Structure 1
Amino acid sequence: MEASLQLFSHRSPENVSIDDVAVAAGASRALVYHYFGGKQELYIAALRSAAGQLSDLLEPPTEGRPIDRLRISLSRYFDFVEDHAAGYTTLLRGGPANRSDEVGEIIDGVRQLLLDRILLALGGDDPGPILRITLRCWMALVETAALDWLERRDVPRAQLERLLVDQYVVLLHVAGRHDPALAALFEQVAHEDPG
């Protein structure tokens, strides 16, 4: 599994063969087929493993202000993005041509995990529709920014992470115009952030 994760992290799935995985793992081709059945099954297993790693990385910090915990989690997310650049890019840009429903389920599962972690940091787990939409929009913004950064790298990563945190605060502010409860949440977050 570790060998396949390394290969899928640096090359698109279309450019990784079972033979490549077998050689990288120091195993026979037959053994890889025995455990995984084929390249698509191996790719799904690798994605599940990567999603598990990301879940562990994004275990929310328990100390500090919510905005600082968000900064830490975002930095960990970008560590993952950078360490798995090719696989991350391939996954979010559509993956292999024969992309299965399982791949979509894994991606949706990671997105739901991120949403749950953000809600936990905000002190709740039952968002109203305005907060839910706002947070999902911010998550899409983070994914898009990560893809752009991987492609161009013309903004220092630390600056990009600060920009994304600032955009999070601004989105909460705008959402507060549409939901009074969010206005109070924005005040809490904005007053915690000295910068």
Structure 2
Amino acid sequence: MDRRREELMAAALELFGRRDAGNVSIDDVASAAGASRALVYHYFGGKQELYVAALRSAAADLEARLRPRRDDRPLEELAEGLTRYFDFVEQHAAGFAALLSGGPANHSGEIGEIVDGVRNRLFHLITRQMRVDEPGPVLRVTLRAWIASVETAGLDWLEHRDVERPALERMLVEHMVALLRVGAGHDPQVDRLLRGLLREHAP
């Protein structure tokens, strides 16, 4: 990718991560990147195009980090995935914040598609890690609720940073187990899954 284009997107993510997109102008992005207004229009055509491109870049980076690195026990894979997730949160705070908070029209249209795409791919990644081919309604709700919790935890950690990252990551793994325990009381599929996960995770 063209270096100047990357610099413009990085500057845009930094601004969109700190301010509502509606309050960021093309001039703001150009100034932050040390570029001209004309150069921004040359690459992107307008602010919406720039915003979409910047979020797509952040989403692609996050998704690449979450791909499994090895075939391990599901809860260990989940823990390793969380570490890479929070590596992204820490190293690309503005991109993460821009991707998941605020945004024009509450993430409608293309923006909503990008955010929902990240969530859907994360959902399918987790089901593959847990070796589930067809999640039933209770498991689907459970996993989507956990993904929402991880997003919220990431945004809260960026704002406060008053919980050590390793402790937060362990909490989120335990949160997954706790949610599955609740779901197991309502659905045999979740019960079987939980028993299998705990059996594999046992020393």
- Select 2:39's aligned residue among 3, 24, 31: 31
Matched to 1:6, the amino acid is A
1:9 is displaced (CA, Å) by 3.7
Matched to 1:192, the amino acid is E
Residues 16-165 of structure 1 correspond to what in structure 2 (within 5 A)? 16-22=24-30, 27-96=35-104, 100-165=108-173
Deviates more, 1:92-101 or 1:118-127: 92-101
1:125 is displaced (CA, Å) by 3.3
Counterpart in 1 of 2:197? 189
SS at match of 1:123: coil
Counterpart CA distance in 1 for 2:36 and 2:44 is: 13
In the superposition, the TM-score normalised over structure 2's length comes to 0.85
Instruction: Determine if contact 1:60/1:73 at 8 Å carries over to the other structure.
Output: yes
Matched to 1:175, the amino acid is G
Counterpart in 1 of 2:14? 10
Counterpart CA distance in 1 for 2:43 and 2:196 is: 51
Counterpart CA distance in 2 for 1:82 and 1:31 is: 30
SS at match of 1:11: helix
Q: Once the two structures are aligned, what percentage of the paired residues are identical?
A: 56
Counterpart CA distance in 1 for 2:133 and 2:9 is: 32
Instruction: Determine if contact 2:13/2:98 at 8 Å carries over to the other structure.
Output: no
Deviates more, 1:104-113 or 1:63-72: 63-72
In the superposition, the TM-score normalised over structure 1's length comes to 0.89
Please, which runs of 5 or more residues in structure 1 have no aligned partner? none
1:83 is displaced (CA, Å) by 2.1
Listed one character per residue, the Cα deviations across residues 112-148 of structure 1 (whole Å, up to 9, x for unaligned) are: 0100100110112321001000000001111111111
Aligned length in residues: 195
1:3 is displaced (CA, Å) by 1.4
Counterpart in 1 of 2:175? 167
1:50 is displaced (CA, Å) by 1.2
Matched to 1:102, the amino acid is E
Counterpart CA distance in 2 for 1:123 and 1:105 is: 26
Counterpart CA distance in 1 for 2:96 and 2:74 is: 27
Instruction: Determine if contact 2:9/2:53 at 8 Å carries over to the other structure.
Output: no
Instruction: Determine if contact 1:130/1:179 at 8 Å carries over to the other structure.
Output: yes
